[in-house]
A and B are shown apart, each in its own frame.
Chain A
Amino acid sequence: MSLDTVSLNLFIAGMVFLLSAAVLPLLFLRNGKRMLRYSSLISAFISCLLVVCASLPVVVYNLKIRFVIYTITYFFSITCMIDRLSAFFIILIAVVSLSVIIYSFSYIEHMIENIKKNMIVCLICFFIVSMIMVVISLNMFAFLFFWEIMSITSFFLVMSEYEKAETKKAGLFYFIMTQLSTLFLIFGFMAIANISGSYNFENLDGVSSIAVNFIFVSLFIGFGIKAGIVPFHKWLPYAHPASPSNVSALMSGVMIKVAVYGIVRYVVDIAQPPLWGGIFILIMGTISALLGVIYALKEHDIKRLLAYHSIENIGIILLGVGLFVIFTNYNLTALATLSILGALFHTINHAIFKSLLFMAAGSVVQATGTRNIEEMGGLVKRMPFTSSLFLVGAVSISALPPFNGFVSELMIFLGFFQSGALLSPILEILMFTCLSLFALTSSLAAACFVKAFGITFLAMPRSDHSKNAVEVKMPMLIGPAIPAVLCVVLGVFSSRIFTFLGFDLPIPDLLVISSIAIISAIAVIIIVKISGRTKYPVRIDETWGCGILSQNPKMEYTASGFSEPIMDIFKPVYRTHTHIEKEYSDKHNTLFQKGFAEIRLFEIFEEYLYMPIARFVMKISADLAKIQNVIEPDSYILYTFVTFLLLLIIGGWFI
Chain B
Amino acid sequence: MLIYCVIGVAALISILLSKSHNSMTVISVLQSSLSLGVTAYFILYRSLPVYYLSNRYFFMDHLGLYETLITWLIFLLTSIYASGYMKHLIVLNRFKKENLKMFYFAFNLLPINIMFAFFSNNLALFWVFTELTTLVSAVLIVLPNAKDNIIIALNYIFIASTAMLFSFIGLILLFGLTKNSTGTGTLNWDSLLSIVPSISSSVLALSIIFIFIGFATKSGIAPFHTWLPHAHAKAPSIVSTLLSAVLLNVGIYGIIRVYALVVHTPAARIISVIFFIFGLFTIAVAALTMFSQKTIKKFIAYSSIENMGLILVGIAIGTPLAMFWILFHTLAHSISKALLFFSAEVIQEQHEGLIIGEMSDVLRLQPFSSFCLIIGSLTVIGIPLFPVFLSKMGIVLELANVSYILLSISVILFFIVASAFSVVLMDIFSEKSSDDEDLPVRNATPLTIVLPMVILIALIFILGVFIPQNLNDLLIKIVSQLGI
Contact = CB atoms under 8 A, between A and B. Distances in A.
A and B: direct contact (Cβ < 8 Å)?
yes
Interface in A600-655: 617-618, 620-622, 624-625, 628, 631-633, 636-637, 639-640, 643-644, 647, 651-652, 654-655
B365 to A, nearest CB: 14
A624 B408 CA distance: 23
B164 to A, nearest CB: 11
A193 interface: yes
A628 B305 CA distance: 13
B194 to A, nearest CB: 23
Interface stretch (B131-139, B338-346, B378-386, B438-446): B378-386
The winner among A146, A165, A183, A191 for most chain B CB atoms within 10 A is A183
A655 B293 contact: no
A32 to B, nearest CB: 16
Contacts of A633: 151, 154-155, 158-159, 227
Given A162-B429, A640-B224, A152 B291 contact: no
Q: How large is the interface on A (under 10, 10 to 19, 20 to 34, 35 or more residues)?
A: 35 or more
Contacts, number: 145
Interface stretch (A168-176, A260-268, A270-278, A383-391): A168-176
Contacts of A632: 151, 155
B88 interface: no
A167 B430 CA distance: 9
Contact of B415 (A115, A179, A628, A654): A179
Contact of A621 (B155, B166, B289): B289
A73 B292 contact: no
Interface residues of B, number: 67
Contact of A631 (B155, B158, B411): B155
Contact of A146 (B202, B292, B384): B384
A167 B363 CA distance: 15
B419 interface: yes
Nearest to B421: A175
Nearest to B393: A141
Contacts of B429: 162
Contacts of B158: 633, 637
A183 B412 contact: yes
Given A176-B422, A194-B400, A640 B209 contact: no
The winner among B227, B289, B416, B420 for most chain A CB atoms within 10 A is B289
A156 B352 CA distance: 27
Interface string A135-166: 00000010011101100100000000011010
B407 interface: yes
A626 B226 CA distance: 12
A28 interface: no
The prevalent SS among residues of A at the interface is helix
Interface in A537-587: none
A162 B363 contact: yes
Given A193-B397, A624-B285, A644 B206 contact: no
A392 to B, nearest CB: 37
B291 A618 contact: yes
Interface string B459-474: 0000001110000100
A72 interface: yes
A482 interface: no
Given A624-B288, A647-B209, 11 more contacts: A115-B367, A148-B389, A162-B432, A163-B432, A175-B419, A621-B292, A628-B226, A632-B155, A633-B154, A636-B226, A637-B162
Interface of B: 148, 151-152, 154-155, 158-159, 162-163, 166, 202, 205-206, 209, 213, 217, 223-224, 226-227, 229-230, 267, 270, 274, 285, 288-293, 363, 367, 378, 383-385, 389-390, 393-394, 396-397, 400-401, 404, 407-408, 411-412, 414-416, 418-420, 422-423, 426, 429-430, 432, 465-467, 472
